[in-house]
Structure 1
């Protein structure tokens, strides 16, 4: 089976690509490298550099490769960026997705897998949040990640393109940069290992649902042939405060670093965690990494990256 991954050089999608390659799928990556990195791309994948907002360039790749399934991860993922520049956010997340869907329609793609976000739920009315929870986003990012779902459903009805829409909790793990919903893990990791002050916005008692990236990759693999025309939360189903997150990471890294609290940011939700009951039923999926094991792998990755950077710097001197 041939699978095309948009944004495949990015944090989450590169892990999906790695897992698919391990399972002997034929994987094609389409990425503009604005945030993705060449070094994230599995050498067994075919790579095309391009932007989802450029329909003609993307359509050419679809015409050449004729994928059976598209995993659409290319996106603008930062809440604060969406608040500062909502038109830019919408151009990528909404218009870009329409371009992907048009390419799917014209080349008769069987299925599209699309990651939405927990941000579409807004301030939770109950916990854990499940797929029946009202959709009331409080940021432009939440709006731009939900709007494509309407287009995806319409394309499915009109052109018989199957879909699975995921709503990820806060994804973290190796290769993550400082942006996006789980970016706090990457930020803490880098600052702890450099023995720099960690900053927490608000009082640190706000809760998030942290899900390890390899568990997310497994959900995408399962969705190739399951969960058709469903919306599914992918989560740990466990709330973790930012203070607890920092404490666990400090214990694992054995780095004692000061914490400085700053004013809470606009658009941030106070408490959130998602149910993963439907993911278990529809996909047969279960997260295999608890917060400690996932953070240990993540911190080991950043430690190795930091060590390589220090060695490179010494070599240049």
Structure 2
């Protein structure tokens, strides 16, 4: 199978590329290197420096003869989307349509799309964990952009027969993560703790997230590339709720030090509680998370301890 990974030099993409290469698949990467890094990728990886909104993308598809596309590229930060909805819409909606057009024109069989828990918005506690039948009601432009692309995927399938799988990620974290994205709180905390600096929680610390390790996400994407159960959405999650205060406690255990966070006002667009059900992915993808939060945080913290300062 020949697979194109957009945003493949980002931290999720770098986990996925390694997994696919280990399985003997042909992998090509498209990345504009706004946040992704070449050094995130194994040497010898086929890399095209290109924005998903750029005209050169068509040439890459024409020459690549890809069987499948994993679309990870995009703007991934809630507060950036609230500050600049136009940027978010251009990168996430227009860029995704451009990817779908190339996929349609050049015979791609399947598109895997990285969606988000933010698609659901702030769901009542008695509806947790959230399953895929929960109405989509995003609170941020980031979440709205992802929901919009999900609708485009469904219509591309109906109009052109392009198969897809939507994966709604919980809060992803792991090695090589930048400061952006929904799971970015972990990379921010890990980097600052490794450097002996203070950390800040926006809100009261009781807000919860479903934190999932990037290696488990890569395995879920791999399963989506191979499943017969296409043209539907799946949550990829641990189905475990962790508050930010609890997260800090686990970090303290991993780092072997007591951590006293500062607290500031919550940011607009942030969801208070998030917990995704993963039963559908377990049943239809044959997938389940394998990495505990403590083990995933240990790997992430050790990565930032070893990373160059600056």
Measured against the shorter chain, the TM-score band is over 0.9
Q: CA deviation at 1:259?
A: 1.3
| Residues 31 and 51, structure 1, Cα contact 8 Å, conserved in 2 | yes
* Structure 1 residue aligned with 2:245: 243
Q: CA deviation at 1:257?
A: 3.5
* Structure 1 residue aligned with 2:61: 62
| Residues 120 and 137, structure 2, Cα contact 8 Å, conserved in 1 | yes
Rounded Cα–Cα distance in structure 2 between residues aligned with 1:254 and 1:178: 23
Rounded Cα–Cα distance in structure 2 between residues aligned with 1:94 and 1:10: 19
What's the TM-score once normalised by structure 1's chain length? 0.95
* Structure 1 residue aligned with 2:3: 3
* Structure 1 residue aligned with 2:225: 224
Deviations 1:218-275 (A, max 9, x none): 0011111213111000000000000000110111111334311111111111111000
Secondary structure class of the residue paired with 1:285: coil
- Where does 1:34-45 land on structure 2 (aligned, <5 Å)? 34-45=34-45
- Which of these residues, 296, 301, 304, is aligned with residue 302 of structure 1? 304
- Where does 1:271-282 land on structure 2 (aligned, <5 Å)? 271-282=273-284
| Residues 193 and 255, structure 1, Cα contact 8 Å, conserved in 2 | no
Deviations 1:78-128 (A, max 9, x none): 111111110110001000000000000110100000011000100113100
Q: How many residues align?
A: 307
* Structure 1 residue aligned with 2:287: 285
| Residues 83 and 140, structure 1, Cα contact 8 Å, conserved in 2 | yes
Secondary structure class of the residue paired with 1:224: helix
* Structure 2 residue aligned with 1:87: 86
Query: Runs of 5+ in structure 2 lacking a partner?
Result: none
Rounded Cα–Cα distance in structure 1 between residues aligned with 2:161 and 2:270: 37
What's the TM-score once normalised by structure 2's chain length? 0.97
* Structure 2 residue aligned with 1:118: 117
Query: Runs of 5+ in structure 1 lacking a partner?
Result: none
Rounded Cα–Cα distance in structure 2 between residues aligned with 1:130 and 1:44: 40
Rounded Cα–Cα distance in structure 2 between residues aligned with 1:178 and 1:92: 18
* Structure 1 residue aligned with 2:200: 199
Rounded Cα–Cα distance in structure 2 between residues aligned with 1:102 and 1:53: 11
Rounded Cα–Cα distance in structure 2 between residues aligned with 1:83 and 1:250: 32
Secondary structure class of the residue paired with 1:165: strand
Deviations 1:171-194 (A, max 9, x none): 000001111110011111111111
CA RMSD of aligned residues (A): 1.1
